[in-house]
Structure 1
Amino acid sequence: MLTEHFVASIAAPTKPNTGVTKDAGVFLHEFQPLAAQRHVFKKSAAASNGLAVSSSHIFTAQDGKAVVHVYSREKGNQEAIVPFPERVHSIALACDDTVLLVGGESGRVMVWELCSGRLVSTSTSHLQPVTALVVDPTSNFFLSGSSDSMIHVWNLASILSFSPDSPRSPIHTLSTHRVPITGLACGHSSTTANIAVSVSEDKSAMVWDYHSGQLLRTYLLPEAATAVTLDPADRAFYVAYADGSLQTLSFYDEMQQSTPVDILRDGSQSHRPVQPPPTTRFNAESQKLGGVLSLSLSWDGTTLLSGHDSGKIASWDLAKNNFMATLTSLPGPVTNLQFLTPTGFPNAPAPKFRIHTVTKPRQDLSMPMSGNALVPPNYTWNVEFTGRISVPRISAIDEPEVRKSDFEEALTHASFPMSMLEESLAELESWGSKPTPTTTVAPAADFLSLSESTTAGKATAAPSSASASASDDVKALKKQLATLQRIQKATFSQLSSLREENTYLLNKERERARQVQKRGLSNGRGDADVDMDDAVTSSESDASSEEDEDTGSGDDGNRTD
């Protein structure tokens, strides 16, 4: 049976509630098929954007403290209290729930590997606390929003690298907002066409192509939005306001329906703000829900949950933009809501590994122990594999083939597809390219900068030198690729010629064997008789040649005499 749950957290108990366990701060509810509370976790006061849930654990950033509480979903209790060097304002999970991103008060993001305890810190690119974090579906990038109105795009693989030369500064800076960022949401696509949405206290919502740092569209809102969430199919996004109302902002509005061109990515339309019609806004004034602090969307995108400062959690029918019901009433403001992945699908893939115990951060694993080894010798990754490790299939009998990915097929093929190589080179080239005019990039934060500068002159020279170095590397890779392609073409041509020659020689040998066999059968004799006749014929021809020689020499003698 299909089952769907959601997790809610409150900032702090503000009113007595006899139906709630004392000191409860995190609540696990079943949404369908039976709406009911299933479990509670005590001693937690989570701040906004301070909740992260995996299949095995729940993480909550404590409001106004430098502490993250870790709860075990399997055991149903608190597993650890993890201190950090500064106050934590936001958290998010990445890399199949094995990495926790922690937004600090100083403006940096700390990356904590849950299975090893390694803690890596980014550069302090934000001027104020990091209030929002969101990870894209591939876990290659994540976005951070701050009270300084800036949004940074980071490369997670570069930050997790053990190389000391790996850059840990943002690759793009989105700085169109003018006041603090209140919410971030990332699309669900795994391609480079994925989008992100940001809302701010300046009464605006902006849609970004975060891979290139380009602003796609700006929406002018009637009030400052307090929360935002995206549709599962990225067709629209929903914002919430402090008066308890909600609003639907569809990408397929009247302007988009009137033209076959994708206006969302039309550069000529990006500078034109869009003001959504008032009919897209809806509320339930009779319910006295209070201001909305958090939003979460169901798996099928038909039901929206809203958490209010009154402690109520309301459900909304998005097809009709109507209030449906109040699911529960908690003893404090609902600062976070998160739907969990549904369970009960018939052929759902099982998780590859399980994390039983979270490893607390260790500062000695942040950098390599020696200059030669990239991985510290005391680095361990503690997980339990739930099934067999993926290995090539080896069998002496015919078995049905298992579908491989395009990359796996390319690895075992004689050559890589040109489209895959060109796409990879284009991505490498885009990393070192200059930002578009519509994007404002911080002067001291550029991707692929190989060293951090200490003076103002070096700070401006490092990005240009890094960009030139990246461009030279791409050109060198293209030359090597062209050389390998020429060698491959010549090799394939030689192999084809040798194959044709081999086929020709084999055919000639078969033809000679057939003729010898046919001649022996037509004479009605075996191989021995045929050989004897050949010998006799050879002897007679030798004797006749000797008589001719004798006769010729005698004639010569007579003429001489």
Structure 2
Amino acid sequence: MLTESYFVSVAGPPLANNTAIAKDAGIYEHTLHPSHSTTGTLKKSSSPRNCLAVSNTHVFAAQEDKATVHVYTRAKGNQEALVTFPERVRSVALLDDVLILGTQEGRVIVWEVCTGRQVTTPACHVQAITCMAVTPFHLITASDDSNIHVWSLSRLLERDPTIEHEPQESLTNHRAAITSLVVGQSVNPDTNICISASKDKSCIVWNYQLGVALRTILFPSTPLCLALDPCARAFYASTEDGSLYAIELFAEKALLGPQSAEENSTAVQVSSAFAAAPQEAGPASCLGLSYDGTILISGHSRGQVLRWDLSSRADSTEVANLNAAITNIVFVSPLSSQRPTKPVAIVKPFLGSRSYNFTSQIDTDMVEDTRFAQMISSNGIPTDTLEQAILAFQEPVGHSIGDQEVRKENEELWEIINEQRTLQKKTLQRYVEAKSANP
């Protein structure tokens, strides 16, 4: 079984005098499978909601009501750096070696942690950027001003300083502050969706590349946080009254796609929750889903971390009580990433267009694998090998490269044989002439 872990952050003072909780611990690493346990703690951190990001090597935690980000190294389990920014940070997102920050003033700050290069956009939102979501090609930012912007990552990372940074799309259907934002990992323009939750008591499913609202879902209470199924089949929402909702997007009455019986403009009212948080825990302030989408982890303002088995929809199980308000839950993929480099130490950001160095550790062999090694390590027969075999069958008989070489060799050999036969005939003719001249 794969080992799956997740990180939990807390903020605020301790709720009670509990000596069992590590002193000054602000971030906890938990193992979900094969058995639940606390495997590590990081100290001196107080991260508000949407301000925690985790990579394979580092943990980035923006601090509450401050313009600083604490950087921790996972290998050593200690703080590596304290990075200061010109504005207070309200949300963070991470893609590979690029950390993206949303500020109190509505700006986006992009920091390449292996080079130190920093890019800052104009104030794209009127109010603070409270949550963000990222895909390999796009960044989605949401704000207290009720607006959502879609950015092209390649354009944000462009080195030309004269390029103007503007959103690619703006999504403006909400009428109150955005509380949570999740995005699917599909790169197909027709199927990539993101879901936003707002204080207007609604969630909207978007095709964010096209800027189209696919479905509006209404709740009895304000949705606080969301979690999206890994295959984007459903999403889960926690509301202000402590309820937990499971919204199936492609169930018998599909909300999306060609099987949907209603128009996109039709709002759907949701009334029945699949579960409710215990009264002593309070409403869930953050949610996290396991890699296979079967386990939901919820963090609560009174310190409880609860586990929900989605396959059986049984009651929750308390897996931890951290004695402080839970603000973030971030799952780490159990599958190792196939990247050639990994950052050993981060490079602090700088402003300006000066030259910079890429500082990272090479994590793979410099020599490319042989064709035989690639065939051994791949699942089944490699695609390129199959394509070559199919093309070989499609070539006319006698016109392949091997047949041409054999035919050329045969022609050369026949030339030699013919020369030897001609020489033999000439020699035999001279012998006959010499013998007839001397009877």
Task: State the TM-score, normalized to the length of structure 2.
Answer: 0.84
CA pair 263-208 structure 1, distance change in 2 beyond 3 A: farther
Matches within 5 A, 1:126-145: 126-136=125-135, 139-145=136-142
Letter in 1 for 2:280: K
Q: What corresponds to 1:328 in structure 2?
A: 320
Counterpart CA distance in 2 for 1:324 and 1:130 is 32
Structure 1 residues 8 and 529, CA gap change in structure 2 (3 angstroms): same
How far apart in 2 are the matches of 1:219 and 1:158?
A: 33
Q: Tell me the residue number matched to 1:310.
A: 302
1:110 and 1:121 in contact (8 A); partners too: yes
Preserved CA contact (<8 Å) 1:149 1:180: yes
Give the direction of change, closer, same or farther, for the CA distance of 1:68–1:519 in structure 2 (3 Å limit): closer
Counterpart amino acid of 1:140? F
Alignment of 1:262-301 (within 5 A): 262-263=258-259, 269-276=263-270, 278-285=271-278, 288-301=280-293
Offset of residue 85 of structure 1: 0.3
Partner of 1:86: 87
In structure 1, give the amino acid aligned to 2:159: F
Matches of 2:369 and 2:328, distance apart in 1: 45
Amino acid at match of 2:364: G
Secondary structure class of the residue paired with 2:315: strand
d(CA) in 2 for partners of 1:123, 1:262:
40
Partner of 2:358: 381
Matches within 5 A, 1:185-204: 185-192=182-189, 193-204=191-202
Give the CA deviation at 1:113.
0.7
Deviations 1:285-327 (A, max 9, x none): 4x52102100000111111011111111111121233323111
1:530–1:212 distance in 2 versus 1, CA, 3 Å: farther
Structure 2 CA distance for partners of 1:230 and 1:349, relative to 1, 3 Å: closer
CA distance in 1, matches of 2:114, 2:161: 22
Amino acid at match of 1:120: V
CA distance 1:218–1:41, shift in 2 (3 Å): same
Q: Which amino acid aligns with 1:83?
A: T
Are residue 2 (structure 1) and residue 2 (structure 2) matched? Answer: yes
Does the Cα contact within 8 Å between 1:249 and 1:280 map onto a contact in 2? Answer: no
Task: Report the equivalent of 1:209.
Answer: 207
Could you list the runs of 4 or more consecutive aligned residues of structure 1 that deviate by over 6 angstroms after TM superposition? Answer: 512-521, 530-533
Change (3 A) 1:394 1:324: closer
More helix by share: 1
Looking at structure 2, the residues matched to 531 and 226 of structure 1 have their Cα atoms a distance apart, in angstroms, of: 110
The unaligned stretches of length 5 or more in structure 2 are 389-400, 433-439
Is the CA contact 2:93–2:100 (under 8 Å) kept in the aligned structure 1? yes
SS at 1:362's partner residue?
coil
Tell me, in whole angstroms, the C-alpha distance in 1 between the residues paired with 2:161 and 2:334.
41
Question: Could you tell me how far 1:199 is from its partner in structure 2?
Answer: 0.6
Q: Is the 8 A contact 2:277 2:283 kept in 1?
A: no
Q: Which amino acid aligns with 2:98?
A: V
Describe the shift of the 1:531–1:44 C-alpha distance in structure 2 as closer, same or farther (beyond 3 A). Answer: farther
Q: Is 1:250 the equivalent of 2:149?
A: no
CA-CA distance at 1:32 after TM superposition? 2.2
Could you tell me which of 339, 346, 352 is aligned with 2:331? 339
1:108 aligns with 2:107: yes
TM superposition shift of 1:235: 0.5
What is residue 545 of structure 1 aligned with on the other side? Answer: none
Q: What is the letter of the counterpart of residue 210 of structure 1?
A: Y
Q: How many residues align?
A: 410
In 1: Cα distance, 2:241 partner to 2:253 partner? 29
Whether contact under 8 Å (1:303, 1:316) holds in the other structure is: yes
Q: Per the alignment, in what secondary structure is the counterpart of residue 274 of structure 1? A: strand
Deviation at 1:513, TM superposition (A): 6.4
Tell me the equivalent position of 2:171: 174
| Structure that is richer in strand per residue | 2
Tell me what 1:12 maps to.
12
The amino acid across from 1:181 in the alignment is: I
Report the AA paired with residue 85 of structure 2: F
Cα RMSD after superposing both structures: 3.4
Q: 1:38 aligns to what?
A: 39
Secondary structure of the corresponding residue to residue 164 of structure 1: coil
Query: Could you say if the C-alpha distance between residues 528 and 219 of structure 1 is closer, same or farther in structure 2, counting changes exceeding 3 Å?
Result: same
* Residues 1:146 and 2:143 are matched in the alignment: yes
Corresponding position of 2:349? 361
Instruction: Describe the SS at the equivalent of 1:183.
Output: strand
Larger Rg: 1
Distance 2:337 2:202 in 1: 40
| Residue identity opposite 1:105 in structure 2 | Q
Deviation at 1:403? 6.9
The SS at the match of 2:254 is helix
Deviates most, 210-219 or 158-167: 158-167
| 1:526 maps onto 2:421 in alignment | no
